[in-house]
Amino acid sequence: MLPTGPRGVLVLAFVLLACRGGSRQDARAAASTAATAAALRETAPAAFRVRFETSAGSFTVAVHRDWAPLGADRFYNLARSGYFDGVRFFRVLPGFVAQFGMHGDPAVTRAWFTQRFPDDPVRHTNARGTVTFATSGPDSRTTQLFINYGDNAPLDARGFAPLGEVVEGMEVVDRFYAAYGEGAPQGRGPDQGRIRTEGNAYLERDYPRLDYVKRATVLIP
């Protein structure tokens, strides 16, 4: 029996993607996954926490919706749906950031790639331990986030709006595997284009030491 609730809805989409028997089924599965992503738009509580169980240990993020309402809503919906389970910390740069949020299933990544949402005004600085959505330009946020390792205040002026902060387990974040360095083409680390098209199969084969999320759980006071 499939689980119910938001996490179950996303699991159902994954099951549909696995049941491939031809182009018609593929099209239906893709449409179902895209619809699931588009439907996850619930308003987040004013304050909540997300506990991340990872390959390196556990850490907890406290989210303050008044810091970045739109970012908090997206983070809440991703976490409650099970989206983060299995994702890799694919860009870990000591002193700068630990970045994550690209799904291990390329079909899910494609569905969410179209679900861009507007920027929030920056109301809190990118201090050590804060959690922020990554962006490639104005109003381009989707699912990628980073945890700040240091005082990255210069990011404030570039529109990166923190939505919360690590309140437990920052020592876990500090020990994420970082030896792969910056991603391609600037460095020898994972290529985001290949993560998008090949998912965790690519990362497990070529970057097996990356740390990853085992499970993310929303905790509401």
pLDDT digits (tens, 9 = 90+) for 143-193: 999 999 999 999 999 999 999 999 999 999 999 999 999 999 999 999 999
pLDDT digits (tens, 9 = 90+) for 45-58: 999 999 999 999 99
DSSP β-ladder status, 130-133 and 89-93: unpaired
Q: Is 162 a member of any domain?
A: yes
The pLDDT-based confidence of 10 (bands split at 50, 70, 90) is: very low
Q: Is 52 a member of any domain?
A: yes
pTM summary value = 0.85
C-alpha–C-alpha distance, residues 83 and 81, integer Å: 6
pLDDT digits (tens, 9 = 90+) for 82-118: 999 999 999 999 999 999 999 999 999 999 988 999 9
Looking up residue 127, the CATH number of its domain turns out to be: 2.40.100.10
CA 109 to chain centre: 10
Q: Is 2 a member of any domain?
A: no
Check if the beta carbon of residue 165 is closer than 8 Å to that of residue 131.
Answer: yes
DSSP β-ladder status, 57-64 and 47-54: antiparallel
- The count of structural domains within the chain is 1
Q: Is 158 a member of any domain?
A: yes
- Residues with Cβ within 8 Å of residue 26, at least 6 apart in sequence: 20
Q: Is 94 a member of any domain?
A: yes
Q: Is 125 a member of any domain?
A: yes
- Residues with Cβ within 8 Å of residue 118, at least 6 apart in sequence: 70, 139, 141
Q: Is 61 a member of any domain?
A: yes
Which residues constitute the domain of residue 143? Answer: 44-219
Tracing tokens 């998912």 back to the chain, one arrives at 199
Looking at the DSSP assignment, which residues form a beta bridge with residue 164?
A: 63, 131
Q: Is 91 a member of any domain?
A: yes
Whole-number average pLDDT of the chain: 87
- Residues with Cβ within 8 Å of residue 188, at least 6 apart in sequence: 180, 181, 182
